[in-house]
Protein backbone atom coordinates (compact mmCIF):
# COMPACT_ATOMS: atom_id res chain seq x y z
CA UNK A 1 0.00 0.00 0.00
CA UNK A 2 2.83 2.41 0.84
CA UNK A 3 4.36 1.78 -2.58
CA UNK A 4 1.00 2.71 -4.08
CA UNK A 5 1.00 6.00 -2.16
CA UNK A 6 4.31 6.98 -3.76
CA UNK A 7 3.08 5.74 -7.15
CA UNK A 8 -0.13 7.75 -6.91
CA UNK A 9 1.78 10.93 -6.06
CA UNK A 10 4.11 10.83 -9.05
CA UNK A 11 1.38 9.61 -11.40
CA UNK A 12 -0.82 12.55 -10.36
CA UNK A 13 2.10 14.90 -11.01
CA UNK A 14 2.74 13.27 -14.38
CA UNK A 15 -0.92 13.63 -15.36
CA UNK A 16 -0.91 17.34 -14.45
CA UNK A 17 2.30 17.83 -16.45
CA UNK A 18 0.77 16.06 -19.45
CA UNK A 19 -2.39 18.14 -19.04
CA UNK A 20 -0.43 21.42 -19.11
CA UNK A 21 1.61 20.24 -22.11
CA UNK A 22 -1.61 19.31 -23.93
CA UNK A 23 -3.10 22.77 -23.31
CA UNK A 24 0.09 24.44 -24.59
CA UNK A 25 0.16 22.23 -27.68
CA UNK A 26 -3.51 22.91 -28.39
CA UNK A 27 -2.86 26.65 -28.06
CA UNK A 28 0.08 26.44 -30.46
CA UNK A 29 -2.01 24.46 -32.93
CA UNK A 30 -4.79 27.05 -32.70
CA UNK A 31 -2.32 29.81 -33.51
CA UNK A 32 -0.89 27.86 -36.45
CA UNK A 33 -4.23 27.12 -38.09
CA UNK A 34 -6.16 30.36 -37.59
CA UNK A 35 -5.68 34.08 -38.11
CA UNK A 36 -6.18 34.63 -34.38
CA UNK A 37 -2.56 33.87 -33.55
CA UNK A 38 -1.49 33.32 -29.95
CA UNK A 39 -3.73 36.07 -28.57
CA UNK A 40 -6.89 33.95 -28.52
CA UNK A 41 -5.13 31.30 -26.46
CA UNK A 42 -3.94 33.91 -23.96
CA UNK A 43 -7.49 35.25 -23.75
CA UNK A 44 -8.87 31.73 -23.20
CA UNK A 45 -6.43 31.16 -20.35
CA UNK A 46 -7.38 34.49 -18.76
CA UNK A 47 -11.13 33.83 -19.03
CA UNK A 48 -10.83 30.28 -17.68
CA UNK A 49 -8.51 31.40 -14.87
CA UNK A 50 -10.79 34.25 -13.78
CA UNK A 51 -13.76 31.89 -13.74
CA UNK A 52 -11.82 29.34 -11.72
CA UNK A 53 -10.54 32.06 -9.35
CA UNK A 54 -14.09 33.21 -8.61
CA UNK A 55 -15.13 29.59 -8.07
CA UNK A 56 -12.07 29.03 -5.87
CA UNK A 57 -13.19 31.61 -3.32
CA UNK A 58 -16.88 30.68 -3.46
CA UNK A 59 -16.93 26.98 -4.41
CA UNK A 60 -17.28 25.74 -0.81
CA UNK A 61 -20.30 27.96 -0.16
CA UNK A 62 -21.84 27.00 -3.51
CA UNK A 63 -21.34 23.25 -2.98
CA UNK A 64 -22.71 23.35 0.57
CA UNK A 65 -25.75 25.34 -0.59
CA UNK A 66 -26.42 23.00 -3.53
CA UNK A 67 -26.09 20.01 -1.19
CA UNK A 68 -28.51 21.59 1.32
CA UNK A 69 -25.96 21.17 4.06
CA UNK A 70 -26.53 22.95 7.38
CA UNK A 71 -24.00 23.77 10.12
CA UNK A 72 -23.70 21.35 13.04
CA UNK A 73 -23.51 22.28 16.71
CA UNK A 74 -21.48 20.18 19.13
CA UNK A 75 -24.56 19.38 21.22
CA UNK A 76 -26.36 17.88 18.23
CA UNK A 77 -23.74 15.29 17.20
CA UNK A 78 -21.01 15.33 19.88
CA UNK A 79 -19.45 12.05 18.69
CA UNK A 80 -19.00 13.50 15.19
CA UNK A 81 -17.57 16.77 16.50
CA UNK A 82 -15.16 14.95 18.82
CA UNK A 83 -14.00 12.59 16.06
CA UNK A 84 -13.29 15.45 13.66
CA UNK A 85 -11.46 17.49 16.30
CA UNK A 86 -9.26 14.60 17.39
CA UNK A 87 -8.36 13.48 13.86
CA UNK A 88 -7.71 17.07 12.73
CA UNK A 89 -5.19 17.43 15.57
CA UNK A 90 -3.58 14.14 14.53
CA UNK A 91 -3.41 15.36 10.91
CA UNK A 92 -1.88 18.67 11.99
CA UNK A 93 -4.55 20.87 10.39
CA UNK A 94 -7.20 23.25 11.78
CA UNK A 95 -10.54 21.69 12.63
CA UNK A 96 -12.81 22.14 9.56
CA UNK A 97 -16.36 23.45 9.82
CA UNK A 98 -18.96 20.69 10.16
CA UNK A 99 -22.16 20.34 8.15
CA UNK A 100 -24.93 17.76 7.96
CA UNK A 101 -27.12 16.83 4.99
CA UNK A 102 -30.55 15.51 5.88
CA UNK A 103 -30.57 12.37 3.74
CA UNK A 104 -30.70 8.68 4.63
CA UNK A 105 -28.12 7.73 1.96
CA UNK A 106 -24.72 7.34 3.67
CA UNK A 107 -22.03 9.61 2.21
CA UNK A 108 -19.67 12.50 2.97
CA UNK A 109 -17.44 15.05 1.26
CA UNK A 110 -14.86 17.73 2.03
CA UNK A 111 -14.61 21.15 0.42
CA UNK A 112 -12.66 24.38 0.82
CA UNK A 113 -9.68 25.99 -0.86
CA UNK A 114 -7.15 25.12 1.89
CA UNK A 115 -7.00 23.67 5.42
CA UNK A 116 -7.75 27.10 6.92
CA UNK A 117 -10.96 27.43 4.88
CA UNK A 118 -12.31 23.87 4.83
CA UNK A 119 -15.54 22.10 5.66
CA UNK A 120 -16.72 18.50 5.95
CA UNK A 121 -20.32 17.53 5.24
CA UNK A 122 -21.83 14.18 6.19
CA UNK A 123 -25.31 12.81 5.65
CA UNK A 124 -27.57 11.79 8.52
CA UNK A 125 -27.63 8.36 6.88
CA UNK A 126 -23.87 8.07 7.40
CA UNK A 127 -24.23 8.90 11.09
CA UNK A 128 -27.04 6.37 11.50
CA UNK A 129 -25.58 3.45 9.55
CA UNK A 130 -21.88 3.53 10.45
CA UNK A 131 -20.33 2.59 13.77
CA UNK A 132 -17.68 4.68 15.50
CA UNK A 133 -14.56 3.23 13.85
CA UNK A 134 -16.21 3.33 10.41
CA UNK A 135 -17.19 6.97 10.90
CA UNK A 136 -13.63 7.79 11.96
CA UNK A 137 -12.34 6.10 8.80
CA UNK A 138 -14.57 8.29 6.62
CA UNK A 139 -13.64 11.47 8.50
CA UNK A 140 -9.92 10.61 8.22
CA UNK A 141 -10.33 10.12 4.46
CA UNK A 142 -11.93 13.56 4.07
CA UNK A 143 -9.33 15.21 6.32
CA UNK A 144 -6.64 13.67 4.11
CA UNK A 145 -8.18 15.38 1.08
CA UNK A 146 -7.98 18.68 2.95
CA UNK A 147 -4.42 18.13 4.25
CA UNK A 148 -3.16 17.03 0.81
CA UNK A 149 -4.63 20.14 -0.91
CA UNK A 150 -6.62 17.95 -3.28
CA UNK A 151 -9.09 20.81 -3.76
CA UNK A 152 -6.23 22.94 -5.07
CA UNK A 153 -5.17 20.19 -7.47
CA UNK A 154 -8.70 19.78 -8.78
CA UNK A 155 -9.04 23.56 -9.17
CA UNK A 156 -5.94 23.56 -11.36
CA UNK A 157 -7.44 20.81 -13.52
CA UNK A 158 -10.71 22.76 -13.75
CA UNK A 159 -8.74 25.74 -15.08
CA UNK A 160 -7.07 23.52 -17.67
CA UNK A 161 -10.33 21.83 -18.65
CA UNK A 162 -11.95 25.24 -19.09
CA UNK A 163 -9.05 26.46 -21.20
CA UNK A 164 -9.19 23.37 -23.42
CA UNK A 165 -12.96 23.75 -23.87
CA UNK A 166 -12.65 27.43 -24.82
CA UNK A 167 -9.76 26.93 -27.25
CA UNK A 168 -11.38 23.92 -28.95
CA UNK A 169 -14.69 25.78 -29.28
CA UNK A 170 -12.96 28.80 -30.79
CA UNK A 171 -11.07 26.58 -33.21
CA UNK A 172 -14.27 24.95 -34.45
CA UNK A 173 -16.02 28.31 -34.79
CA UNK A 174 -13.06 29.74 -36.69
CA UNK A 175 -13.15 26.84 -39.14
CA UNK A 176 -16.93 27.15 -39.60
CA UNK A 177 -16.83 30.92 -40.07
CA UNK A 178 -13.99 30.80 -42.54
CA UNK A 179 -11.42 32.20 -40.14
CA UNK A 180 -9.40 29.04 -40.16
CA UNK A 181 -6.89 30.18 -42.77
CA UNK A 182 -3.41 29.02 -41.94
CA UNK A 183 -0.99 31.63 -40.84
CA UNK A 184 2.06 32.02 -43.03
CA UNK A 185 4.32 30.63 -40.35
CA UNK A 186 2.67 27.24 -40.58
CA UNK A 187 3.90 26.69 -44.09
CA UNK A 188 1.88 25.27 -46.96
CA UNK A 189 1.37 22.19 -49.02
CA UNK A 190 1.09 18.76 -47.46
CA UNK A 191 2.49 19.81 -44.06
CA UNK A 192 -0.10 22.57 -43.75
CA UNK A 193 -2.90 20.19 -44.69
CA UNK A 194 -1.76 17.68 -42.06
CA UNK A 195 -1.66 20.38 -39.38
CA UNK A 196 -5.18 21.48 -40.35
CA UNK A 197 -6.54 17.91 -40.13
CA UNK A 198 -4.89 17.37 -36.75
CA UNK A 199 -6.31 20.70 -35.54
CA UNK A 200 -9.87 19.75 -36.57
CA UNK A 201 -9.62 16.31 -34.95
CA UNK A 202 -8.24 17.76 -31.70
CA UNK A 203 -10.81 20.55 -31.69
CA UNK A 204 -13.52 17.88 -31.61
CA UNK A 205 -11.82 15.42 -29.25
CA UNK A 206 -9.86 17.69 -26.88
CA UNK A 207 -12.76 18.37 -24.42
CA UNK A 208 -13.20 14.60 -24.05
CA UNK A 209 -9.44 14.09 -23.61
CA UNK A 210 -9.35 16.85 -20.99
CA UNK A 211 -12.27 15.28 -19.11
CA UNK A 212 -10.60 11.86 -19.06
CA UNK A 213 -7.36 13.35 -17.70
CA UNK A 214 -9.29 15.18 -15.00
CA UNK A 215 -11.11 11.99 -13.98
CA UNK A 216 -7.83 10.05 -13.92
CA UNK A 217 -6.33 12.63 -11.54
CA UNK A 218 -9.45 12.47 -9.34
CA UNK A 219 -9.32 8.67 -9.12
CA UNK A 220 -5.62 8.71 -8.15
CA UNK A 221 -6.33 11.14 -5.33
CA UNK A 222 -9.06 8.88 -3.94
CA UNK A 223 -6.58 6.02 -3.53
CA UNK A 224 -4.15 8.39 -1.85
CA UNK A 225 -6.81 9.75 0.55
CA UNK A 226 -7.79 6.18 1.47
CA UNK A 227 -4.19 5.33 2.33
CA UNK A 228 -3.52 8.52 4.28
CA UNK A 229 -6.86 8.22 6.07
CA UNK A 230 -6.05 4.67 7.15
CA UNK A 231 -2.61 5.80 8.31
CA UNK A 232 -4.27 8.57 10.34
CA UNK A 233 -6.63 6.23 12.21
CA UNK A 234 -4.10 3.34 12.28
CA UNK A 235 -7.03 1.04 11.48
CA UNK A 236 -7.56 0.42 7.72
CA UNK A 237 -10.47 -1.95 8.37
CA UNK A 238 -12.59 0.90 9.67
CA UNK A 239 -12.54 2.71 6.31
CA UNK A 240 -12.77 -0.56 4.36
CA UNK A 241 -15.91 -1.56 6.25
CA UNK A 242 -17.36 1.95 5.80
CA UNK A 243 -16.80 1.78 2.03
CA UNK A 244 -18.56 -1.60 1.93
CA UNK A 245 -21.61 -0.20 3.69
CA UNK A 246 -21.72 3.01 1.62
CA UNK A 247 -21.32 1.22 -1.72
CA UNK A 248 -23.84 -1.51 -0.88
CA UNK A 249 -26.50 1.04 0.08
CA UNK A 250 -28.56 1.36 -3.09
CA UNK A 251 -30.36 4.57 -2.15
CA UNK A 252 -29.15 7.49 -4.30
CA UNK A 253 -28.33 10.77 -2.62
CA UNK A 254 -31.12 13.17 -3.59
CA UNK A 255 -29.06 16.39 -3.50
CA UNK A 256 -26.10 15.03 -5.48
CA UNK A 257 -25.58 15.73 -9.17
CA UNK A 258 -22.86 15.26 -11.79
CA UNK A 259 -21.22 18.55 -10.82
CA UNK A 260 -20.72 17.52 -7.18
CA UNK A 261 -20.50 13.70 -7.42
CA UNK A 262 -16.69 13.66 -7.56
CA UNK A 263 -16.47 15.33 -4.14
CA UNK A 264 -18.09 12.49 -2.21
CA UNK A 265 -16.18 9.59 -0.70
CA UNK A 266 -18.11 7.21 -2.98
CA UNK A 267 -20.20 7.92 -6.08
CA UNK A 268 -23.60 9.09 -4.77
CA UNK A 269 -25.41 8.68 -8.10
CA UNK A 270 -25.23 4.88 -8.14
CA UNK A 271 -24.36 4.68 -11.84
CA UNK A 272 -25.13 1.50 -13.72
CA UNK A 273 -22.17 -0.80 -14.24
CA UNK A 274 -20.38 -1.15 -17.53
CA UNK A 275 -17.00 -0.54 -19.10
CA UNK A 276 -18.12 2.70 -20.76
CA UNK A 277 -19.42 4.12 -17.48
CA UNK A 278 -16.26 3.01 -15.65
CA UNK A 279 -14.16 5.04 -18.08
CA UNK A 280 -16.04 8.18 -17.04
CA UNK A 281 -16.29 7.25 -13.35
CA UNK A 282 -15.29 9.89 -10.80
CA UNK A 283 -14.05 7.23 -8.35
CA UNK A 284 -11.94 4.07 -8.69
CA UNK A 285 -13.82 0.75 -8.26
CA UNK A 286 -14.74 0.38 -4.60
CA UNK A 287 -13.64 -3.26 -4.50
CA UNK A 288 -10.11 -2.19 -5.50
CA UNK A 289 -10.08 0.44 -2.77
CA UNK A 290 -11.24 -2.07 -0.14
CA UNK A 291 -8.69 -4.65 -1.31
CA UNK A 292 -5.87 -2.11 -1.07
CA UNK A 293 -6.93 -1.07 2.43
CA UNK A 294 -7.08 -4.64 3.69
CA UNK A 295 -3.65 -5.31 2.23
CA UNK A 296 -2.11 -2.65 4.48
Rounded to 5 degrees, what angle do the CA atoms 152, 154, 159 make?
95
Q: Which residues, including other chains, have CB under 8 Å from residue 256's CB and lie 6 or more apart?
A: 67, 107, 264, 268, 269
Catalytic residue flag (residue 75): no
d(CA 50, CA 56): 10
Which one from 142, 244, 251, 266 is the annotated catalytic residue? 142
- Give catalytic residue positions: 142
Amino acid sequence: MWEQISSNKWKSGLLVFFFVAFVIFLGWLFGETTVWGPYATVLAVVVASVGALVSWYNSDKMVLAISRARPVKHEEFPHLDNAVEGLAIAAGIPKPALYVIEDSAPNAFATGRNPEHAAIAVTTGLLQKLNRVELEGVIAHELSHIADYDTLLMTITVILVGTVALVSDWMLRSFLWGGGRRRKSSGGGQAGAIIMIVAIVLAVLSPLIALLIRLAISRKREFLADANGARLTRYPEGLASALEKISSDREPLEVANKATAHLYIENPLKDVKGNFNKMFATHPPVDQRIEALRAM
